[in-house]
Amino acid sequence: MSTAVIDTSDQSAAGSEPAASHLVTVTFRIRRFNPEVSAESAWEDFTLDIDPKDRVLDALHRIKWEQDGTLTFRRSCAHGICGSDAMRINGRNRLACKTLVKDITAIKDGKGAKPILVEAIKGLTVLKDLVVDMEPFFQAYRDVMPFLVTSGNEPTRERLQSAEDRERFDDTTKCILCAACTSSCPVFWNDGQYFGPAAIVNAHRFIFDSRDEAGEQRLEILNDKDGVWRCRTTFNCTDACPRGIEVTKAIQEVKRALITRRF
Ligand code: SF4
Ligand code: FES
């Protein structure tokens, strides 16, 4: 009788710990800030032996659990849904839980070629390490009335809408409010008063909803000196969005609706 042989050489595919030979040595250079210690931020290096298929969030967890418990960052779902771990990684806004180490550093002779730079997103006040004050961001979101407004005509069941009408705002429903777009915008960096791309995306989601009745009101809110006209169409926001939302296109559609009053 023959004996079945199970190949366990690819252990990571089988869901168990990777063999040590899979590990590479990578340095994470993290911009630290603790207002109780210093008014200035400073870079600090942490070196790990890590599976290149691990995510930056995994590395941050290991640094916190194994090397420095004071390292501070936000995360919740770890699967690209909650939007809480947007940070600047190698100079670009990304979600730490969606960024694989192998995709952001060249590996040579078992080592990362360069340190991976990790810092807080820009344009919002840093509270500690990678945690920023999100309140101005959420205030702009609240200001555009991100909810359905209707008067009367209560349906007995759901408010019906054609597939075509639903399609008009499908892209902007995908926003997870991570702030990667707003905090990549040079206009927002220079003047935090600008509503920013994320607020406009969430206004778009309701302005173009055929069931909503507050489109004019939202357009007037965005017609403000700190509204859509501040956008300089740099496309940073579209490049930064981890959900692949065409942010700049949505902003352009809101601008056009303001001019034509057709939406
Ligand atoms: S539009 Fe994209 S980048 Fe901006 S907050 Fe929403 S999900 Fe994040
Ligand atoms: S931890 Fe939720 S999106 Fe990354």
The pLDDT tens digits of the residues spanning 155-213 come to: 888 888 999 999 999 999 999 999 999 999 999 999 878 999 999 999 999 999 999 99
Mean pLDDT for all residues in the chain: 92
- Extract the tokens encoding 152: 């009367």
Asked if residue 118 and residue 64 are part of one domain, the reply reads yes
- Average pLDDT in the 70-99 region? 98
Q: Which residues line ligand 1 (CB under 6 A)?
A: 83, 175-181, 197-198, 201, 240-241, 243, 245, 247
The helix (H) or strand (E) run that includes residue 219 is: helix 215-222
Tell me what pLDDT residue 191 has: 80
Sign of the torsion angle spanned by Cα atoms 98, 134, 228, 217: positive
| Per-residue CA distances from 203 to 7, 54, 143, 155, 257 (Å) | 54, 36, 9, 24, 12
Asked if residue 202 and residue 106 are part of one domain, the reply reads no
Q: How far is the CA of 5 from the centre of ligand 1 (A)?
A: 48
Q: The tokens 């600008």 sit on which residue?
A: 194
**Measuring from atom 1 of ligand 2, which residue has the nearest CA?**
78
Asked if residue 54 and residue 138 are part of one domain, the reply reads no
Asked if residue 100 and residue 138 are part of one domain, the reply reads no
Residue 201 lies in a domain: yes
pTM: 0.89
- Distance from C-alpha of 114 to C-alpha of 106, rounded to nearest angstrom: 8
Asked if residue 138 and residue 122 are part of one domain, the reply reads no
- Distance from C-alpha of 137 to C-alpha of 77, rounded to nearest angstrom: 20
- Distance from C-alpha of 153 to C-alpha of 173, rounded to nearest angstrom: 24
Residue 200 lies in a domain: yes
Asked if residue 144 and residue 110 are part of one domain, the reply reads no
Asked if residue 124 and residue 187 are part of one domain, the reply reads no
| Mutational pocket test of ligand 2: of 56, 76, 131, the residue with most ligand atoms within 8 Å of the beta carbon | 76
Tell me what pLDDT residue 17 has: 53
- Extract the tokens encoding 198: 């994320």
3-state secondary structure of 29: strand
Nearest to 182 by CA among 194, 170, 169: 194
Q: Are 161 and 211 in contact (CB under 8 A)?
A: yes
Determine the residue type at 7. Answer: D
- Could you count the other beta carbons within 10 Å of the beta carbon of residue 190? 11
Residue 115 lies in a domain: yes
- Distance from C-alpha of 213 to C-alpha of 229, rounded to nearest angstrom: 23
Residue 119 lies in a domain: yes
- Extract the tokens encoding 160: 């019906």
Dihedrals φ, ψ of 178, to 5°?
-85, -20
Q: The tokens 């961001």 sit on which residue?
A: 137
Asked if residue 119 and residue 180 are part of one domain, the reply reads no
Q: What is the CATH number of the domain that holds 127?
A: 3.10.20.30
Asked if residue 88 and residue 144 are part of one domain, the reply reads no
Q: Is the pLDDT of residue 5 over 80?
A: no
Beta bridge partners of 131: 128
Residue 57 lies in a domain: yes
- Extract the tokens encoding 14: 């089988």
Q: How many domains does the chain have?
A: 2
Q: How far is the CA of 4 from the centre of ligand 1 (A)?
A: 50
Q: Which domain holds residue 256?
A: 134-149+166-260
Residue 51 lies in a domain: yes
- Which atom of ligand 2 is found nearest the CA of 242? 3
Asked if residue 221 and residue 237 are part of one domain, the reply reads yes
Residue 141 lies in a domain: yes
**Measuring from atom 8 of ligand 1, which residue has the nearest CA?**
178
Last residue of a domain, one of 131, 158, 177: 131
Asked if residue 123 and residue 171 are part of one domain, the reply reads no
Asked if residue 73 and residue 44 are part of one domain, the reply reads yes
Residue 68 lies in a domain: yes
Q: What is the CATH number of the domain that holds 181?
A: 1.10.1060.10
Tell me what pLDDT residue 262 has: 79
Last residue of a domain, one of 104, 131, 158: 131
Q: How far is the CA of 178 from the centre of ligand 1 (A)?
A: 5
